Structure 1
Amino acid sequence: MSSLPTRMENRWEKRRTLMLPPGQGRLYWHVLLGDDAQARDIVQEAQGRLAGLPGLDLVPQEFIHLTMFVAGYSHETTDHQVNVMAEEVAGQLARVEPITVTLGRVLYHPEAIVLEARPAERLRPLLEAVKFATRAATGRDGVLAHDVWIPHVTVAYSSADGPAAPIIEALGEQLPEREVTIRSIHIVNQDGPETVWDWRTLAEVRLGES
């Protein structure tokens, strides 16, 4: 992920061939943060600074999230496999206490503006647990959402090609930091095109509960 790109790119156009039709979805391991006051506050601050700039799709507050892992396609995964994934992760995380990370550093990608979740190593137990559970339940390896694992919360996606400078000038590289405590992780089915935000939570696993 580039810290300071010179150009923004239309994410949706670049991903047009990857978009799924309604009725088909991708299964994600997400940390859902729409109900977390600290996460909402910092995302609102970032989006307020970006308000009015063209070519940005702001993430709706109810869908604020941190993507951990992509488990596969919904039409290739049974309800039983989803349940087994959740059970396996619950076993892995039974002795892992809630994890606190800091949001504040702004990172720029040509397709998105995000807040880095630091330190990343605190989230490593979550990543290893969901990778293990996905393989154990489905017999398939899932994939990272990005080639390089940098835990982050997305503020906005780029929906147009254009210069990055006005966005960087409006938002900067650092916001007042907020601490966010992660208490659970979810399996979410994102149905159809990403742009419609048709999400359905299939399972929730709380940290530190046997």
Structure 2
Amino acid sequence: MTRDPARSPADEPAADPPTVGRGGRRRDQAVALGWLVAAWLLLWGDVSWANLLTGLVVGAAVLFFFPLPPVTFGGRLRPGPLLVLAGTFAGELVSASVHVAAVALRPGYRPRGGIIAVPLRVRTDLNLALTAEVISLVPGTLILDIDRARGVLYVHVLDVRGPEDLAGSRDRVLAVERRIVRAVGSPTEVRQLDLEPVERRNHP
């Protein structure tokens, strides 16, 4: 297994999150429930009324028995970038599935795995969660750990043949983050996308 030698950035601590009112808290819970239901449907691979109702029950139970810290949504939904995000995700899902199937069926071939540390440019909990979820749903990539304080995702990638594959995988993670932030991020977060991660500046 190949481990990326890059180190995570030692950034300053993030600012304290803003106070969330009752209305904002309910809105955040509704958004979280929606994502849990979507993840439930993706896991089952079948959109039906039974799976939808079951997902609502399971999601509500998760939020009730395992309350998450408040994750505020200060972004803005943009239909165009949302369509780009969905379309690109569908394309990557198909291409990655074909690639993994080809690797699995290749006689005598033993693929090498690699672990990369990818510092995100937008370090909010919501962006970390959404980016990690999208990356994990694509065959051949898996989130191993998340450094919440530094905004770093540790990703396992399949079929690494050289340093260029590690660099390409890191670029794909950052591209996913870019599409997510453009689709649901605030104007300030969108501007942060123009900043290069500290890790990349230190390791050209």
Q: Using structure 2 for the length normalisation, give the TM-score.
A: 0.27
Which of the pair has more CA radius of gyration?
Answer: 2
Q: Which one has more relative contact order, counting CA pairs under 8 Å at least 6 apart?
A: 1
Which structure: greater strand fraction?
A: 1
Which structure: greater helix fraction?
A: 2
Q: Using structure 1 for the length normalisation, give the TM-score.
A: 0.27
